[in-house]
């Protein structure tokens, strides 16, 4: 298929220009000021609209098992929500059971994702250290999955202790991969949670109290120190607090490879959301929890000064009935919320339109940096000749209100319900195929591709 996008404002992370873009099959064939039309071109007029690289969300959890049931979005429904939000590539997670090999778990997860309509890839999570773990990590790298996720929280299930964590850092660093880390001190959190429950402090308001910023920051400090010791590049996921940011910035200034990610909810929501009746507060139970307004301000500043490289969503929605699994015990509320379809529109509305960031920075943190960090660049994350034709035509004038009644994610609640936003992914092209046209899903959409990095 040949697609010609005319008159749009092409936006990359470093510059913007008005240009035409010719797509032939799955690649960008030409970028020029005035490409002549042909009878066999599908022509899209993008005048007064932005033309940006397809979004890359480096942090999603589709079809995640939980005692309250799987997270409400399957790979199909979650990827559909992502596409409507202008995201064409997702990086999800492989989390084996203890005793299961990383490679077997990877293949199982690949099979689970086969109905996604975005492109997709995976971070692989060592949940223990066994005699075969090093060879399994090496095999994952060879297969094209060079990033590994470690949890310092959840010690009773998937978290690693200090010795196991160091084994992963040493091995992945030696083999040339990247370790991504959920930084919270799990043992200390469990002690606090257990104390609250023993004192009959069971309501949602005790969730943030049980996971204070200090326990995130201490885990960040430990992580940075151990990564430096073992010469391993690291990527700290869902950074939520100013205290953690200060440590990350300090390490970056010494030349250590420390990447940081935050999420839309940490930029736009605060811990006052945990005050009130259960059904109104439980949707906001995520980990780390929402923080203070001062932390929001620090996160926006960290995006502007490049301390934070990426904006992921940690997309993991649960229906309200699933959240009610913890009605009488906040520790049993499944952690997670959904925002994969809202990431770009929230950032555009509350970042670009308020002059906190430029449109180029929006592209940088929602696509380009993730592509560079996770081995997808320059095929993805940039609009340039020869790159994959993953392109979003963004209409900056559309105004809407986010609503759980109209969103695309498969969930009956939405943490951004009622937010007034501007901007919309009007047309979404994935690999040269128009997936969304004039905000409607095209007929007979093909499945996305597994991406080896």
Residue pLDDT, tens place only, 153-186:
999 999 999 999 999 999 999 999 999 999 999 9
Q: Could you give the CA distance from residue 440 to residue 408 in angstroms, rounded to a whole number?
A: 12
% of the chain with per-residue pLDDT over 70: 100
In-domain check, residue 273: yes
Q: What is the pLDDT of residue 1?
A: 86
Residue 316: inside a domain, yes or no?
Answer: yes
Structure confidence by residue, pLDDT tens digits, 66-109: 999 999 999 999 999 999 999 999 999 999 999 999 999 999 99
* Domain-located, residue 58: yes
Q: Are 227 and 203 in contact (CB under 8 A)?
A: no
Residue 27 lies in a domain: no
Angle, in degrees to the nearest 10, between helices 213-229 and 242-253? 20
Angle at the Cα of 431 from the Cα atoms of 427 and 433, rounded to 5 degrees: 50
pLDDT category at 35 given cuts 50, 70, 90 is: very high
Kindly state whether residue 16 falls inside one of the protein's structural domains.
Answer: no
Q: Is residue 408 part of a domain?
A: no
Residue 133, in any domain of the structure? yes
Strand partners, 257: none
Say whether pLDDT at 405 is over 90.
Answer: yes
Q: Mean pLDDT throughout 271-286?
A: 98
pLDDT band (50, 70, 90) for residue 132: very high
Indicate the average pLDDT of the chain: 98
pLDDT value, residue 273: 98
pLDDT of residue 214: 98
Per the structure, the count of domains in the chain is 1
Give the domain CATH number at 133. 3.20.20.140
Does residue 221 have a pLDDT over 90? yes
- In this predicted structure, the answer to whether residue 51 has a pLDDT above a threshold of 90 is yes
Q: What are phi and psi of 429, to 5 degrees?
A: -115, 125
What is the model's pTM?
A: 0.98
Report, as an integer, the average pLDDT of 189-208: 98
Length of the chain as a residue count = 453
pLDDT at 154: 95
- The stretch 34-44 carries a mean pLDDT of 95
The pLDDT-based confidence of 321 (bands split at 50, 70, 90) is: very high
Asked whether residue 190 is assigned to any structural domain, the reply reads: yes
What's the whole-number mean pLDDT along residues 124-147?
A: 98
The whole-number pLDDT of residue 45 equals 98
Count of alpha carbons within 13 angstroms of residue 376, beta-carbon side: 30
Three-state secondary structure of the chain: CEEEEEEEEEECCCCEEEEEEEEECCEEEEEECCCCCCCCCEEEECCCCEEEECEEECCECCCCCCCCCCCCCCHHHHHHHHHHCCEEEEEEEECCCCCCCHHHHHHHHHHHCCCCCCEEEEEECCCCCCCCHHHHHHHHHHHCCCEEEEECCCCCCCCCCHHHHHHHHHHHHHHCCEEEEECCCHHHHHHHHHHHHHCCCCCCCHHHHHCCHHHHHHHHHHHHHHHHHCCCCEEECCCCCHHHHHHHHHHHHCCCCEEEEECHHHHHCCHHHHCCCHHHHHHHCCCCCCCCHHHHHHHHHHHHCCCCCEECCCECCCCHHHHHHHCCCHHHCCCCECCCCCHHHHHHHHHHCCCCCCHHHHHHHHHHHHHHHCCCCCCCCCCCCCCECCEEEEEEEEEEECCCCCCCCCCCCCCCCCCEEEEEEEEEEECCEEEEECCEECCCCCCCCECCC
Domain containing 114: what range? 54-373
Which single residue is written with the structure tokens 């059971």?
97
- Residue 310 and residue 248: Cα distance in Å, rounded? 14
């Amino acid at each position: 298929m040949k697609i010609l996008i005319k008159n749009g404002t092409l936006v990359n992370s470093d510059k913007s220009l008005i240009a035409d873009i010719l797509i032939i099959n799955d690649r960008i064939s030409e970028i020029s000021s005035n490409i002549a039309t042909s009878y066999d071109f599908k022509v899209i007029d993008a005048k007064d609209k932005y033309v940006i690289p397809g979004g890359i969300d480096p942090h999603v959890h589709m079809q995640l098992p939980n005692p309250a049931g799987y997270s409400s979005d399957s790979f199909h429904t979650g990827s559909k929500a992502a596409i409507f939000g202008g995201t064409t590539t997702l990086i999800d997670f492989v989390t084996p059971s203890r005793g299961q090999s990383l490679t077997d778990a990877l293949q199982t997860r690949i099979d689970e994702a086969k109905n996604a309509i975005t492109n997709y890839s995976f971070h692989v999570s060592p949940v223990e250290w066994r005699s075969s773990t090093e060879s399994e990590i090496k095999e994952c790298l060879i297969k094209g999955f060079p990033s590994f996720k470690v949890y310092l929280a959840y010690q009773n299930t998937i978290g690693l202790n200090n010795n196991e964590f160091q084994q992963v850092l040493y091995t992945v660093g030696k083999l040339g991969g990247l370790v991504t880390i959920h930084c919270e001190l799990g043992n200390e959190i469990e002690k606090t949670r257990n104390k609250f429950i023993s004192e009959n402090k069971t309501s949602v308001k005790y969730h943030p109290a049980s996971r204070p910023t200090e326990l995130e920051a201490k885990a960040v400090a430990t992580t940075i120190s151990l990564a430096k010791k073992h010469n391993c590049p690291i990527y700290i996921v869902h950074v939520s607090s100013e205290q953690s940011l200060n440590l990350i910035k300090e390490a970056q200034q010494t030349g250590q490879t420390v990447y940081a990610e935050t999420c839309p909810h940490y930029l736009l929501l605060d811990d006052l959301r945990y005050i009130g009746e259960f059904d109104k507060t439980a949707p906001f139970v995520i980990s780390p929890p929402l923080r203070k307004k001062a932390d929001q301000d620090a996160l926006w500043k960290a995006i502007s000064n490049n301390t934070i490289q990426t904006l992921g969503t940690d997309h993991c929605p649960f229906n309200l009935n699933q959240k009610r699994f913890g009605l009488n015990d906040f520790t049993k509320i499944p952690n997670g919320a959904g925002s994969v379809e809202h990431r770009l529109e929230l950032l555009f509305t509350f970042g670009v339109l308020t002059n906190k960031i430029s449109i180029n920075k929006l592209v940088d943190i929602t696509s380009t940096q993730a592509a560079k960090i996770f081995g997808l660049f320059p095929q993805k994350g940039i609009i340039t000749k020869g790159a994959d034709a993953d392109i979003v035509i963004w209409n900056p004038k559309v105004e809407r209100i986010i609503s759980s009644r109209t969103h695309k994610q498969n969930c009956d609640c939405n943490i951004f319900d009622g937010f007034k936003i501007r901007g919309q992914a009007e047309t979404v092209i994935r690999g040269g195929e128009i997936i969304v046209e004039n905000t409607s899903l095209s007929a007979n959409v093909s499945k996305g591709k597994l991406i080896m990095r």
